Amino acid sequence: MALSTPAAAIDVSGSSPLADEEVVRRVLAGDTALFEILLRRHNQRVYRVARAVLRDEAEAEDVMQHAYVQAYRHLAQFQGRSAFSTWLTRIAFHEALARLKRRRRERPSRVAEGEEDAMQSVRSEAPSPEREAFDAEMRRHLEAAVDALPVLYRSVFVMREVEGLDTGETAAALGLREDAVKTRLHRARAILREELYRRAGVAKENAFAFHRTRCDRVVAAVLARLTAAPS
């Protein structure tokens, strides 16, 4: 399914009034340019989930591209049993986990000790000269603390507390039982120092933000790959 060029009248921004399911239906019917709506609409969530697993912005962007290409190629398999965003998040999460496993096999000596165990200490980063404002400093500390969590706790924490998904959505996206999501979220909160968590609470929605320039870069890369792909 080759990607078409959007007509001037087509709104492919993430703010398009079309529901995800309608966009999917129209893409499958041949209006493939509308796929960009889904890219822009779900970029931040997909980025946050991939970065939660990998703790690396560049790798997270690469995983996003792979996830979107896979979603596009297998779009006919989306049957609406869950929200499209959940289906897409699951693809990105498993792609990120696969990347993490490959990284560990290729660079075993560089894997942080105790990744699968509870964190022993919370890391912090010194504020940079360019970002000395209080809210920016708190956001950095929060991101460092979350990055230090074991990957399964980290993924649940980001999806529930940063992205704002409910327990059921998180469980569906990660392939977990709801009680497992609750347990891991409780443990993640316990690992994070209470004082740091309280102070960073006001900034948590802004952590791992997916800015417009990054959004445009990922969208352009995905569209280029889909356009170049054989029909």
- Parse the chain into domains and list their residue ranges: 20-109+211-228, 118-206
Q: What's the pLDDT tens digit per position in 176-200?
A: 999 999 999 999 988 886 656 555 5
Assigned token pair, 167? 């327990």
Q: Pick the residue with more confidence: 19 or 14?
A: 19
- Of the pLDDT bands very low, low, confident and very high (cuts 50, 70, 90), residue 61 is very high
- Dig out the tokens for 46 from the structure: 């997909």
**How far from 201 is each of 47, 64, 72, 183, CA to CA, in Å?**
20, 27, 36, 20
Nearby residues of 75 by Cβ (< 8 Å), 6 or more positions away = 1, 24, 27, 28
Contacts of 117 (CB under 8 A, 6+ apart): 150
State how far the alpha carbon of 145 is from the alpha carbons of 41, 185, 189, 223, in Å: 28, 14, 11, 34
pTM for this prediction: 0.69
> Confidence class of residue 203 from pLDDT cuts 50, 70 and 90?
low
Map tokens 């990284």 to a residue.
103
Q: What type of residue is 34?
A: L
**Mean per-residue pLDDT, 74-95:** 94
pLDDT digits (tens, 9 = 90+) for 113-167: 445 443 343 344 444 344 456 567 777 777 888 888 899 899 999 999 989 999 9
Which of 53-57, 72-76, 141-145, 154-158 bottoms out in mean pLDDT, i.e. has the lowest? Answer: 141-145
Q: Which option is the CATH number for 20-109+211-228: 1.10.357.10, 1.10.10.1200, 1.10.1740.10, 3.40.605.10?
A: 1.10.1740.10
Q: What's residue 128's pLDDT?
A: 38
More confident residue, 79 or 28: 28
Of residues 46 and 201, the one with the higher pLDDT is 46
CATH 1.50.10.20 fits 118-206, yes or no: no
Residue that is written with structure tokens 């709506």 in the block = 37
